[in-house]
Chain A
Amino acid sequence: MSTSSALRDLQRDLENKANDLSKLQKDIAKNHQVRKKYTIQLGENELVLKELDLLNEDANVYKLIGPVLVKQDLAEANANVRKRIDYISAELKRLDATLQDLEEKQNSKRDMILKLQQRIQSLQAGKAKA
């Protein structure tokens, strides 16, 4: 009787862990998506910066804000793009760190689940014998 209740506990535990694991995996997938988006933006911003660097001092630069093109100073635009690049790089770094963290968690969860499964199996085997 005690073995069966222990088994039930273990199974509930396993279920919880599995849920956690799937949640973690979802997070990781989300992280990947965000990362991809930021990488693309970073590439675009670098391209813009390159072009802005190639422009003459007196070139007219506009920024599209909503439906209108707003004239901007070249130096200002340049600074804005640089700031944006810095921001995106920092964001990417942060995402990397969280990703690593999540993966570590995922691995440890997986190990725990494996151990739980083994224990359940051994318990079931013992029950079948008894």
Chain B
Amino acid sequence: MEEGANGTVTPLASMFPADEAQKAAGRVQDAIAEKRRELDRVRGFAADNAALVNLVQKLPEELHHDVMVPFGKAAFFPGRLIHTNEFTVLLGEGYYAERTSKQTVEILRRRGKALETHVDSLKSIIEDLKTEASFFDKTASEAAEGLVEIREELSGEESDEGSSELGQKEDGPSISVEDKGKILNEDEEYDRLMSKLDELEKEELAAEAADNIEEETNEVDPDVVSDQSSFHQNLKDLEGSHSCMPPSHSERQASNEEFLRQTRQQPALVEKLNPGDFTIASSQKDKTSHGNDLLWNLKGPDIADKSPKLPALEENDHAGSSNNEVPIQPPKPKVDSLRAFTGSIIEHSPNLPINPREPSATSSKVPGSQSSKPLSRFRMQRK
């Protein structure tokens, strides 16, 4: 024990030596084994009881039964069981009562119930012992790892009492340290992921803002300030001049236009191309593609070409030219932007550090077969 300025540092091993804790765990295990044996025994009784009930119920069905009567320890001789509805039942403590078959069955049923409650109580005892054993095991492993307990007194005075609670308290810090590391890790990954998403969103927005202005204002999550700002930025750019679009965009436009000419009924085609798509993704797709359809009808194909579907089309067809930027990038913007627009990721973002599983679950759900490659990279990072 070292005296700190206003606290104490105690190695857990000094209070609970690892081998002692292990010994305790072993003792509890022994107790569990013993209880298990008892449970088995009681279960055997219950089974016997059930069989006896069956027999007692059947016996009075006949006037007499031919049986082998045990005679002494080793011998049997044939006999006949008569008075099949008369039983002398041992009630316990040397008391016997003459009962009929029906009454006997009632007695046996009551005994069966008592046995059942016994079994239940034994089960709960075993559960308790199990938790106790796991606690001892944990304490032993923690002590072996050299965990220390740091205590700082609020009053400044040191008190020796309460050392018995330490075991339980000990769990807190040890776990929280691990969690912190995890959370930090998650945070980093999350930041990386989000920045990537923002980038992709910006690209996508730049591409789409020109055509789907109304749609986007509906779909962009108002909570996300960065999205909005980038969106407005794009809006301004686009309002200024259409030629301000990124070069890659115009390139993509060209390739996409080709595509469009080939396939006019694009959304339906997409559906066909991605038969294994998840319903969430496809429903979202429907929404956007509907909007695109409308816009097509209004403005013509040269505007609709930047719809988020096209990249997916290209990827699935492998029709897109290989030296084009588009096939590499678009699959990500497509799915990610869709998710961003519906807010599926952004809604979860505040929970992410606390509940890191949740977004990963959604992200693993949303990407279908079409974009498994880029998103699996994210998933790999997460794990």
User: Taking beta carbons and an 8 Å cutoff, which residues of A are in contact with B?
Assistant: 41, 44-45, 47-48, 50-52, 54-55, 59-65, 69, 72, 77, 81, 84
Binary contact readout B78-97 vs A (1 if CB under 8 angstroms, 0 otherwise): 00000000001011111111
Name the residue in B94, B95, B111 with the highest tally of chain A Cβ atoms < 10 Å from its Cβ.
B95
Given contacts A47-B114, A51-B107, contact A69 B93 (CB under 8 A): no
The answer to whether A59 touches B95, judged by C-beta atoms less than 8 angstroms apart, is: no
Is A84's CB under 8 angstroms from B93's CB?
yes
Chain B residue at smallest Cβ distance from A66:
B94
Is B64 among interface residues, defined by CB-CB distance under 8 A?
A: no
CB of B171 to closest CB in A, whole Å: 31
Distance (Å) between the CB of A63 and the closest chain B CB? 5
Q: Which chain A residue has the least Cβ–Cβ distance from B93?
A: A48
Q: Which residues of B contact A45 (CB under 8 A)?
A: 92-93
Question: A63–B94 Cα gap in the complex (Å)?
Answer: 5
The answer on a CB contact under 8 Å between A61 and B92 is: no
User: In whole Å, how far is A8's beta carbon from the nearest beta carbon of chain B?
Assistant: 32
Cross-chain contact of B93 among A44, A54, A59, A62 (Cβ < 8 A): A44
| Contact across chains for A52 and B98 when beta carbons are under 8 A apart | no
Within 8 A of A (CB), among B107-122: 107, 110-111, 114
Q: Which residue of A lies closest to B96 (CB)?
A: A62
> Do the beta carbons of A59 and B92 come within 8 Å of each other?
no
Q: Which residues of B contact A81 (CB under 8 A)?
A: 93, 95
Q: Tell me if B287 is interfacial: C-beta within 8 Å of chain A.
A: no
Shortest CB distance B347–A (Å): 60
Q: Find chain B residues with CB under 8 A from A41 CB.
A: 93
Cβ of B97: which chain A residues have Cβ within 8 Å of it? 51-52, 55, 59-62
Instruction: Name the residue of chain A whose CB is nearest to the CB of B106.
Output: A54
Residues of chain B lying within 8 A (CB to CB) of residue A69: 88, 96
> Which residues of B are found within 8 Å of A84, using beta-carbon distances?
93
- A77 engages B95 (CB within 8 Å): yes
Chain B residues in 8 Å Cβ range of A48: 91-93, 95
- Find chain A residues with CB under 8 A from B96 CB: 61-64, 69
**Cβ of B88: which chain A residues have Cβ within 8 Å of it?**
62, 69
Range class of the B interface residue count: 10 to 19
What CA separation (Å) do A51 and B97 show in the bound complex? 9
A88 to chain B: closest CB distance in Å?
Answer: 11
A64 is contacted by which of B94, B99, B110, B114 (Cβ under 8 Å)? B94
**In whole angstroms, how far apart are the Cα atoms of A26 and B111 in the complex?**
36
12 contacts between A and B (CB under 8 A): A44-B92, A44-B93, A47-B91, A48-B93, A48-B95, A50-B110, A59-B97, A61-B97, A62-B88, A62-B97, A64-B96, A81-B93
State the CA gap A69–B96 with chains docked (Å): 8
State A48–B111 Cα separation when bound (angstroms).
11
A65 with B94: CB separation less than 8 A: yes
Query: Which 3 A-B pairs rank lowest in CB-CB distance, beginning with the nearest?
Result: A64-B94, A62-B96, A60-B98
Collect the chain A residues with CB atoms within 8 Å of residue B90's CB: 64
* Residues of A close to B98: CB separation below 8 A: 59-62
Contacts of B94 in A (CB 8 A): 63-65
Residue of A nearest to B111 (CB): A47
- Distance, CA A47 to CA B118, complexed state (A): 14
Whole-angstrom distance from the CB of A62 to the nearest CB of chain B?
4
Q: In angstroms, how far is the closest chain B Cβ from the Cβ of A4?
A: 33
Task: Kindly list chain B residues whose C-beta atoms are within 8 Å of the C-beta of A63.
Answer: 94-96
Query: What's the nearest-Cβ distance from chain A to residue B264, in Å?
Result: 86
CB pair A47–B92 under 8 Å, yes or no, is yes
A47 vs B95: C-alpha distance when bound (angstroms):
11
Contact A59 to B91, CB < 8 A, known contacts A47-B114, A51-B107: no
Report chain A residues within 8 Å CB of B110: 50-51
Scoring A44, A51, A55, A72 by chain B CB atoms within 10 A of each residue's CB, the highest score goes to A51
